[in-house]
Structure 1
Amino acid sequence: MSGIFSSHYSLRPVLPHSASASAVYSKRACLAGAAAILAFASQVHATEARYACSGGAKLTARFSPPSMETGTVALTFETGETITLPQAMSADGGRYADEGVEFWIKGKNATLTRDGDSETCSTK
Structure 2
Amino acid sequence: MAWQPELVRRVDAAGNPAASLGHALVDDYLEFVAARCRSNTLLATAYDLKVFFSVVPKEPTDVVTADIFAFITAQKKPRLPHDPRRRDRSTQPGAGRARQPQAERQSRGTAATHAAHSAARSWSR
Which interval holds the TM-score relative to the shorter structure? under 0.3
- Which of the two has greater strand per residue? 1
Q: TM-score, normalised by structure 2?
A: 0.25
- Which of the two has greater helix per residue? 2
Q: TM-score, normalised by structure 1?
A: 0.25
Query: Which of these two proteins has the greater Rg computed from alpha carbons?
Result: 1
Higher RCO, Cα 8 Å, sep 6+ = 2
